[in-house]
């Protein structure tokens, strides 16, 4: 029987995989965001390299990086709508072609780092043909209800998902509400959970909400209005670079 995990924060999924001692998962990741911050992927060689200090801990933006480096995930198909994906986000996975990692790539080569195998694809939602056999179906609600989308487009995005021809039944599904990134659409979220469970005859398992992390030191020291201004300026400048094709 299919199990459908309902979570509030996406990094809770790594806890599930660790509890299962999962390895070599094939994940189709439906999400506005990549959740692979700190990872460099050589798409031509299909290999992955850690490029940030992952000892800083797991969060919603890097849990897939940890899962890949721990050997729990060996294939990722990242599916996002538009807007969405690297061009519309900050703190994302890096590719071998990015200007910002050329020095890092040279350093990795000098150190003889060969990375780890990772089968990786990225596609837009219209390009996604549906589930493949053996895939773990991982859905972030923001792929339908991201705050960057008009609120009145949520239903159409949900229906576009259910119009796919699901010839394969996943053994496991996770759906993450991500309230930080999604419109307040709890009723639509719950209806979608029930619809998914009915379609795949799945057993629903709800995980309790994770406690919020303690605030970082710099957030304690900086006045909120000053921190928010700095953060907004940084994000806007980074997104401007993304829109110019500079990563």
CA–CA gap between residue 5 and residue 21 (Å, rounded): 16
Q: What is the pLDDT of residues 67-78, one digit of tens each?
A: 999 999 999 999
Res 230 pLDDT > 70: yes
Q: What is the pLDDT of residues 92-120, one digit of tens each?
A: 999 999 999 999 999 999 999 999 999 99
Q: What is the pLDDT of residue 156?
A: 98
Q: What is the pLDDT of residue 181?
A: 96
Q: What is the pLDDT of residue 215?
A: 65
Whole-number average pLDDT of the chain = 92
Q: What is the pLDDT of residues 27-47, one digit of tens each?
A: 999 999 999 999 999 999 999
Distances (CA, A) of 6 to 132, 146, 152: 21, 18, 24
Residues recorded for the chain: 247
Q: What is the pLDDT of residues 146-193, one digit of tens each?
A: 999 999 999 999 999 999 989 999 999 999 999 999 999 999 999 999
Q: What is the mean pLDDT of residues 225-235?
A: 70
**pTM as predicted:** 0.91
Token representation of residue 144: 């339908």
């Amino acid at each position: 029987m299919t199990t459908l995990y309902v979570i509030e924060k996406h990094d809770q999924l790594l806890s599930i995989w660790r509890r299962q001692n999962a390895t070599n998962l094939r994940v189709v990741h439906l999400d506005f965001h990549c959740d692979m911050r700190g990872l460099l992927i050589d798409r031509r060689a299909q290999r992955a390299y850690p490029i940030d200090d992952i000892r800083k801990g797991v969060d919603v933006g890097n849990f897939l990086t940890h899962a890949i480096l721990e050997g729990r995930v060996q294939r990722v198909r990242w599916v996002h709508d538009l807007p969405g994906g690297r061009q519309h986000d900050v703190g994302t996975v890096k590719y071998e072609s990015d200007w910002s990692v050329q020095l890092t790539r040279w350093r990795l080569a000098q150190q003889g780092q060969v990375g780890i195998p990772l089968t990786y694809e990225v596609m837009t939602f219209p390009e996604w043909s549906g589930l493949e056999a053996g895939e773990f179906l991982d859905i972030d609600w923001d792929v339908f209800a991201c705050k960057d989308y008009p609120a009145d487009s949520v239903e159409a995005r949900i229906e576009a998902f259910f119009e796919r021809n699901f010839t394969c039944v996943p053994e496991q599904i996770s759906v993450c509400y991500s309230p930080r990134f999604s419109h307040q659409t709890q009723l639509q979220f719950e209806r979608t959970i029930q619809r998914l469970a009915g379609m795949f005859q799945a057993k629903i398992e709800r995980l309790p909400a994770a406690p919020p992390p303690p605030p970082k030191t710099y957030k304690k020291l900086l006045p909120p209005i000053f921190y928010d201004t700095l953060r907004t300026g940084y994000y806007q400048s980074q997104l401007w670079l993304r829109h110019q094709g500079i990563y």
